[in-house]
Structure 1
Amino acid sequence: MKTKYEEIINEIHVRISDGRLKPGDKLPSIRSLAETFECSINTIVKAYTEMEKEHKIYSVPKSGFFLVGIRQFSNNSAQEMIDFSSAGPDKWNMPYRDYQHCMNQAIELFKEEMFQYSEPLGLSSLRYELSKQLQDLQVFAPPERICVVSGSQQALDILVSLPFPNGKKEICVEQPTHFSFIDSISSRGLNAIGIEMTKDGIDLTYLEKLFKERSIKFFYTVSRFQNPTGYSYTNKEKKKIVELAQKYDVYIIEDDYMGDLDTRKKADPMFAYDPSGRVIYTKSFSKVLLPGLRLGAAVLPDLLLESFFRAKFASDVHTPVLTQGALEIYLQSGMYKAHIEGLRKIYKKKGRILKQALHAYLPKQVVFTGAESGFYSTIQLPLQIKAALLVHSLKKKNVLVQDATGMYLPVYKKENVIRLSVSQVEDKKIEKGIRVIGKELNSLLRKD
C-alpha cells in the first residue's frame, strides 16, 4: 500500500501523462495540495522534495515549484537512441526558470543601456562581478583586465589573429582539440604545430623542444576536461608548462571553460602560476549554463588590451547588454554557485558510471581516455578500424558517437578515434550504450 506522499507523487505523474501539467508549468501550491489530499503540509513538502531530488521538478524561491522538461521516449525501447555524440549541457538540469527571472529583472535594470551602444569590453558592473566570481577558480584579476565575450570561442578567434608582444608567429595546440579552434586556425591559413594528447597527458620534454626551437606565439590548451580526451592536467604539470612558457617567451591561452565542474579542491588553473599576463585565461558559461546565451570571459594582459579592444569592436561592437545584465544578476544572487554545486555532483556520477562501463565492456585492444567529468572521453580503436565505420555500424544499433577525425589538424590526422559525451545520456543508459559499443567493437575485430 502506498504512503500518502507516494500517492501525491503518483498524482503528479498522472497529470503529466494526461497533459494537464507541461514542462515549465507551475505545480499546485503546497497549501492547496494539502487541502486537496487532506494531509499535512509536511507530507506535500516531502513529496515535492523527493521529486526535486530526481530532477523532475525544481523550486524558485518565493514562486513555488515548476515542472522540468520531461524526456519523451518511444514505448519500443529498441527504437530509443543513446546519444553519446551530443556534447551540450544536460538540458534537464539547466536553470531555465531562474534565468528567466534574471532576464526579466535585467530588462528593468538595464533598460537605459539597451537604447545605446555599450562598452566593447563588457558592462563594468558585470566585469566587477566576474572578477569576484573568478576568485573561486583561483583566478585573481582586476575588472580592467576582464573582457566579456560572446562565448569563449569569440575570444579565441580574435586572439588567433592578433600580433603578440613576443613577435612570434606559430601556434602550438593539443591534438586532438575541439572543432571550432581547428576552424579558426585553418580558415586563416596559420602555421600550427600539434602536440599529442594521450591518456597520460602531453610529453613535456617534447613541449620544451617546441618552445625552444620553434617561433611559438602561444600554446593553446584546455587545462581541465580537455575536449575531446577529457584529460585534466595535474597541478605539477600546469606549473611546469608555465615555467617553460616563461623560460622561452611563449604565451599560454588557457581555455578553462569546464573548470567549474572540477571537484578537486586543490586544483589550480595555469593562470594561478603566472597572473601577470603570460597566461591568458578564457572561460565560457555555455557548458554549465545556457549555450544560447553565448557568454564568456577572457582575462587579458595589459599589453593586449588595446588591440583586443579594437578587434572586439570590429567584430560585434559589444556583447548584448540584456544577456550581460542577466548574468550579472544571476552571479550576484548566488544562484550560479548553487547551480554549479549541483552540476558537479551530476557529472561526477555520470563520469563514474562511464568509467566503470568502459573498463567492463571495451576490448583490451582499445584505449580510452578521460571520463572523469562525464563530459568528454575518447576511444582509440585499433588502426585497422576506421572511426567512420564504427559510427555507421553503431547508428544501426541506435547508439550515436562522434567521429573525432575532424578534431585534428590535417598533418596530425587520426581516423581511428571516437569521442563520447554522456552529458545528455540518462545515467541508467550509459552502461547499456557502452555495452553495445563493446559488442560492436568485438564484432569488427573478429572480422579483421
Structure 2
Amino acid sequence: MLTIYGKIIEKIETRITDGSLKPGEKLPSVRSLAVELGCSVNSVIKAYSDLENDHKVFSVPKSGYYLVGSTPSICGTSADVIDFASAGPDRTKMPYRDYQHCMNQAIETYKEEMFQYSEPLGLSSLRYQLSKQLQDLQVFTVPERIAVVSGSQQALDILVSLPSPNGKSEICVEQPTHFSFIESILSRGLTAVGIEMTEKGIDLDRLENIFRERNIKLFYTVSRFQNPTGYCYSNKEKKRIVELAQKYDVYIIEDDYMGDLDTRRKADPMFAYDSSGRVIYTKSFSKVLLPGLRLGAAVLSESLIEGFTKAKFAADVHTPVLTQGALEIYLESGMYNKHIQKLRHLYSQKGKILKQAYVNHLPEGAVFTGGESGFYSTITFPDRLKAVQLVKHLKLKNVLVQDASGMYLPPYRKENTIRLSVSQVEDRLITEGVKKIADGIRELNW
C-alpha cells in the first residue's frame, strides 16, 4: 500500500503521463497540493525534493516547482508533437544537481584563480584528469598534449585555420557532415574535397585517390556516430584510414564527440592505431553532459601545440576557470563514469527501437543510416521528393525532422535526405513517428 508520500509522487507522475501537466509548466504549490490531498506540507516538500533529485522537476526560488523539459509548439499546441529535429541530450537525464555540487566546490577551490588569467590550454589539474579519463576510450596521452577548449567546435575551427606541418592546404571532409564544420570551411574560403558517406561508410579506394591526387592537409572525420548519418567505422576501416594518412602525409582530425556512448567493448578510435602523430583527437562533453557548459578537449601532435596555443589565446585567452574546475571535480569524483553508464543504456535502447521501426515501416526506395547511438540517423528517398517538402508535410502531422541539405558543401549538395535524432523522443513515440514519416514519403512520392 502506498504511503502518503508515495501517493504524492504517483499523483504528479500521473499528471505528467496524461498530459495535464506539460513540460515547463508550474506544479501545484506545496500548500495547495497538501490541502487537495489532505496531507502535511512537509510530505509534499519531501516528494517534490525527490522528484527534483530525479531531475523530473526543478525549483525556482520564490516561484515554485516546474516540470523539466520543453516541447515545441506546432499549430498552436504542444500536444502530441514527436520531435526528431532536436538533437540535444535528454533533459530529464542530465546531472543538474550533481554538477551544481561540483560548481559550488569549484568556486571554493578556484576562488583565487578566478581573479587572474589562466593557462590558454587549460588548468593543468583538469588536463591530468582528462588524460586519465581518455584512457577508457583507448586514447593514451600525456596532459601536456591536451588542450581544453570551449566546446570541440572551437578546436575544429582553430585546426582548419592553422598552417599544416605537411605544407598542404586542402581539407577532405565526409559528406554530409555537421553544420558548424561546414561553416568553418566556408567562412574562411578554404578549398574542401568531399567524400560521400553512405549506409556502408566511405569508399576507401576513393579516399586513397583523393589523398594521392589532391593537396590534402587534413581529413576531418567523425569516427563514431557520425553526424548526421550515425555511421560507426569498424576497427578495420579505422586502421586503413590511418595507414593511408601515413602513406600520403595527411593529418586526420578525429572528432570522437560521442565516443563515450559506444557500447562495443573492442571499438577503438583511430588515435589508437597511429604512432606518427598524424591523428588529432577531439571530443566534446556537450552531448553527454550539459551543452551549455561548452567544454571539450583536443589531443594535439607536438608539431601543432605552439601554433594552437597562440590561436587559442587569440580566440578567448582561456576557457572559463569555473567550468573547468567543475569538470575536473566531476571526473575525479567518479560521477561522470556513473552518468555515462546510464546514458549508454538509455540511448542504445532508443537506437534499437528506431532501427527496428525503420525495417518494419519505411517504404521501398527509402534508405536509412545509423541510429545506434540514439542521436543521429538519416533517411534518403528518391530524388523526385525534396527534403524541404517532406519537412513541411510532416510538420502538419506534428512530426519534426531536419532537412539535411545544409549539411553538405555546395558542390556535393543533396536535397533528398532528412536527419533524425531520437535523443529527446520518448521510447513509446519512436515507432509511431517513423510510421508517420513513412506515410509522408508515400503520400508525396506516389
Cα deviations by residue, 1:248-269 (Å, 9 ceiling, x for unpaired): 1111000000101000001000
Matched residue type, 1:326: A
From the superposition, tell whether residues 375 and 335 of structure 1 become closer, same or farther in structure 2 (CA, over 3 Å). Answer: same
- Does the Cα contact within 8 Å between 1:173 and 1:221 map onto a contact in 2? yes
Letter in 2 for 1:20: S
Once the two structures are TM-superposed, the CA of residue 10 in structure 1 deviates from its matched residue by: 2.1
How far, CA to CA, are the matches of 1:149 and 1:418 in structure 2? 30
Task: Provide the rounded CA distance (Å) in 1 between the counterparts of 2:353 and 2:265.
Answer: 22
In structure 2, relative to structure 1, the CA distance for the partners of 1:67 and 1:143 (3 Å cut) is: farther
Asked if 1:152 is matched to 2:163, the reply is no
For 1:29, the equivalent position in structure 2 comes to none
Equivalent residues of 1:140, 1:275 under 8 A apart: no
| Match of residue 224 from structure 1 | 224
Contact 1:365 1:381 in 2 (8 A): yes
Distance 1:53 1:368 in 2: 38
Flag structure 1 segments of 5+ consecutive residues without an equivalent.
Answer: 23-31, 38-43, 59-65
The CA distance in 1 between the partners of 2:416 and 2:72, in whole Å, is: 32
* 1:332 correspondence with 2:341: no
Aligned mates of 1:307, 1:53 — CA distance in 2: 44
Matched with 1:69 is 68
* AA aligned opposite 1:262: D
CA contact (8 A) 1:89 1:424 kept: yes
Counterparts of 1:86-125 in structure 2, within 5 Å, are 86-125=86-125
2:425 aligned with 1:425: yes
Deviation at 1:7, TM superposition (A): 3.7
Distance 2:334 2:442 in 1: 49
1:194-216 Cα offsets, whole Å, 9 max, x none, are: 00000000000111111111111
The 2-side partners of 1:107 and 1:220 are apart by: 37
Whether contact under 8 Å (1:84, 1:400) holds in the other structure is yes
Q: Residue 111 of structure 2: SS of its match in structure 1? A: coil
Instruction: Name the amino acid aligned to 1:315.
Output: A
Paired with 2:149 and 2:374, the residues of 1 have a C-alpha distance of 26
Does structure 1 retain, via aligned residues, the 8 Å contact 2:254–2:279? yes
Supply the AA of the counterpart residue of 2:317.
V
2:318 is matched with 318
2:357, 2:431 within 8 Å by CA — same for their partners in 1?
Answer: yes
- Percent identity, aligned pairs only? 69
Contact conserved, 1:366 with 1:380, CA < 8 A, in 2?
yes
SS of 1:147's equivalent?
strand
Query: Structure 2: how far apart are the matches of 1:232 and 1:285?
Result: 19
One-letter amino acid of the structure 1 residue matched with residue 122 of structure 2 = G
Q: Which amino acid aligns with 1:233?
A: Y
In 1, Cα distance between equivalents of 2:390 and 2:201: 25
CA contact (8 A) 1:141 1:275 kept: no
- Cα deviation per residue 1:40-92 (whole Å; 9 max; x = unaligned)? xxxx99xx99x89997489xxxxxxx997266799x99942211111111111
CA–CA separation in structure 1 for the residues paired with 2:6 and 2:95: 26
* TM-score (norm. length: structure 1): 0.87
1:177 aligns with 2:186: no
Cα deviation code 1:218-264 (max 9, x no counterpart): 11000000000000000000011001111111110000001010000
CA contact (8 A) 1:68 1:92 kept: no
Structure 2 gaps of 5+ residues are 22-26, 32-38, 59-64
- Seen in structure 2, the aligned counterparts of structure 1 residues 10 and 413 have a Cα distance that, compared at 3 Å, is same
* 8 Å Cα contact 2:55/2:96 also seen in 1: no
Question: How does 1:24-423 map onto structure 2 within 5 Å?
Answer: 56=56, 69=68, 79-423=79-423
Aligned-partner SS, 1:232: coil
**Rounded Cα–Cα distance in structure 1 between residues aligned with 2:13 and 2:191:** 57
1:240 partner SS = helix
CA distance in 1: counterparts of 2:301 and 2:133, whole angstroms: 19
Give the aligned residue type for 1:194: G
AA matched with 2:257: Y
Say which of 28, 46, 50 aligns to 1:19. Answer: 28
1:427, distance to aligned residue in structure 2 (A): 1.0
**Does the CA-based 8 Å contact 1:15-1:21 persist in structure 2?**
no
The question of whether the paired residues in 1 share the 8 Å contact of 2:208 and 2:244 is answered with yes
Distance 2:69 2:211 in 1: 51
- Following superposition, the deviation at residue 426 of structure 1 comes to 1.0
Residue type at the aligned position of 1:400: L
2:36 aligns with none
In 2: Cα distance, 1:19 partner to 1:176 partner:
47
| Alignment partners' CA distance in 2, 1:162 and 1:352 | 40
Compared with structure 1, are the counterparts of its residues 285 and 36 closer, same or farther at alpha carbon in structure 2 (3 Å cutoff)?
closer
Give distance in 1, aligned partners of 2:195 and 2:128: 36
Question: Contact 1:288 / 1:340 at 8 angstroms: preserved in 2?
Answer: yes
Aligned to 2:61: none
Q: What one-letter code is carried by the residue in structure 2 that aligns with 1:305?
A: I
**CA 1:77–1:191 in 2, change beyond 3 Å: closer, same or farther?**
closer
Structure 1 residues 436 and 13, CA gap change in structure 2 (3 angstroms): closer
Q: TM-score, normalised by structure 2?
A: 0.88
Partner Cα distance (2:66, 2:344) in 1: 22
Q: Distance in 2 between matches of 1:270 and 1:438?
A: 36
Which residue in 1 is equivalent to 2:34? none
- 1:277 positional shift: 1.6
- Count, aligned residues: 419
Larger mean Cα displacement after TM superposition, 144-153 or 276-285: 276-285
